[in-house]
Amino acid sequence: MKFLDQCKIIIRSGDGGAGCVSFRREKFIEFGGPDGGDGGKGGDVWIEAADGLNTLIDYRYHQHFKGKTGQHGMGRDRHGANGEDVVLKVPVGCQVFDEDGETLIVDLDQPGARVRLLKGGNGGFGNTRFKGPTNQAPRHANPGQPGEEKTIWLRLKLIADVGLVGLPNAGKSTLLAAVSAARPKIADYPFTTLNPNLGMVDLTANERFVLADIPGLIEGASEGAGLGTRFLGHVERTAVLIHLVDATQDDVAAAWRTVRAELAAYGAGLAEKPELVALNKVDALDPAVRDERRAALAAACGSAPHMVSGVSGEGVTALMRAAYRQVRAAKDAAAPTPEPEAWRP
C-alpha cells in the first residue's frame, strides 16, 4: 500500500432544509390554519481516529467531503429528515490543521477519538411557527441555514515508542529488520528508505514497543537537502531516539554531529529527547579500529555508545532493552501506575 502522510481536503457541512408554507385544507373545515413543517438539519462533518489504518492514501483521490442537505419541511406539519453526516476515518496519530497549515484544530492521538469539524446548517421554520394572535395565517417560512465550508490539512504523525535516526546507510532498516518482523527495503546506497517503517519489538510477552525506521538525514536536510526533515514528524511522539552511527566511516564524531544539528534545526523537542547513541556495523571492524572509533564517538557525544551490529546481532538486545527502559519511564511519568496495596493478613 502506498504511504501518504500529508494531504489537503475540502469539507462542507450540509445545508439545512427549508421550512414549508402550507395550510390545512379539508372539507368542512374552514380556516384550517398553517401547517407547514420545519426543514431538517444539514449533515455534520466528523473526523474519527480508526484503528487499523496507517496512511492517508484514501484522501489522495477523494478530496471533497460534504454532509447531506436536510430535507425540506412538508405540509401537514411534517418535519424534514436530517441530512446524513460524513465521518472521515483517519489513522491514529493524525492531526488536523487549518488552511494555513499551522493552526492545529485537533490532534487525534487516541483510537476512537471523534470530533465534529463542521456543524450542518439548521433547518428553517415552517409557517406553523409564525402563527400568532395577530397573524393567524402567515405566508412565510424560513429558508434553511447554509452549511459551512473549510479547507483543512491532514497530517499523520505515526505513533511509535522509539525512533531510529542517522545518516543514510547507517543500517537503520537492517536493525529494524533484525529486531522485528518488519521487512523494510535494505540496500547499499543512500536513501533506500523513502517512507517510515514501523516494527513491533517483542522483548518478552509483555515488554514490547513500536520501533520506527525513517529515511536518512544529511547535512542541510532542514533546508531541504536529501529528503528533507518532514518525516521527522513521525518520531516526534517517541519516548527515545536511537541514533545509529555507521562505524565503517572514518569520522564517526562528525557523522554524529551532523545528525544532531539537523535534529536541533527541526525543533519540536527532538534535540531534547533522550538519545541512545549506537555505533553500528561493528562486525566489520578489527579490534584496534573498533576501540579507536568508539573513543572518538564517546568523546563527541559524552557517553559510551552502544556497540551493535544489525547483521551479526551483537549488542542489539542490550540496545533494545535500554530503549525499552526509556519507554517504560516515559509511560510511567505520563500515567504513574498505582502502587499495589500492601497485602495484610
* CB within 8 Å of 225: residues ≥ 6 apart: 218, 219
Could you tell me where the beta strands, DSSP code E, fall in the chain? 6-12, 45-50, 64-66, 86-91, 94-97, 104-108, 114-118, 149-156, 162-166, 197-204, 207-213, 240-246, 275-280, 306-307
* Helix (H), strand (E) at residue 177: helix 172-179
Residue 317 interacts with which of Mg ion, ligand GTP, none, CB < 5 to 8 Å by class:
none
- In contact, 41 and 120? CB cutoff 8 Å: yes
Rounded distance between C-alpha atoms, residue 50 and residue 73, angstroms: 35
Query: Which is closer to Mg ion, CB of 55 or CB of 192?
Result: 192
Residue among 11 and 178 whose Cβ is closer to ligand GTP: 178
Distance of CA 159 to the CA centre of its chain: 7
- Could you tell me the smallest distance in angstroms from the CB atom of residue 203 to ligand GTP? 20
* Least distance from ligand GTP to the Cβ atom of residue 196, Å: 10
Number of residues that bind ligand GTP (CB under 6 A): 24
Q: Which does 311 bind (CB under 5 to 8 A by kind): ligand GTP, Mg ion, none?
A: ligand GTP
Minimum CB distance to ligand GTP, residue 283 (Å):
5
* Stretch of residues binding ligand GTP (CB under 6 A), selected from 64-72, 113-121, 190-198, 286-294: 190-198
Counting Cβ atoms within 10 Å, is residue 31 exposed (0-12), middle (13-18) or buried (19+)?
Answer: exposed
**Considering CB distances under 5 to 8 angstroms, the limit depending on partner class, which of Mg ion, ligand GTP, none binds residue 91?**
none
Out of 14, 42, 80, 215, the only residue in the binding site for ligand GTP (CB under 6 A) is 215
Residue 306 in the binding site for ligand GTP (CB under 6 A): no
For residues 246 and 282, give the distance between their C-alpha atoms in angstroms, rounded to a whole number: 8
- Give, in degrees to the nearest 5, the angle at Cα 288 between 250 and 177: 65
- Residue from the set 77, 107, 219, 283 that interacts with ligand GTP by CB under 6 A: 283
Q: Is 190 in the site for ligand GTP (CB under 6 A)?
A: yes
Q: Least distance to ligand GTP from the beta carbon of 163, Å?
A: 13
Do 290 and 245 form a contact (C-beta atoms < 8 A)? no
192 binding ligand GTP? (CB under 6 A): yes
Per-residue x/- track, 156-185, ligand GTP (CB under 6 A): ----------x-xxxxxxx-----------
Which listed residue (22, 128, 193, 229) binds ligand GTP by CB under 6 A?
193
Q: How many angstroms separate the CA atoms of 187 and 178, rounded?
A: 15
For ligand GTP, the binding residues (CB under 6 A) are 166, 168-174, 186-188, 190-193, 215-216, 280-281, 283-284, 309-311
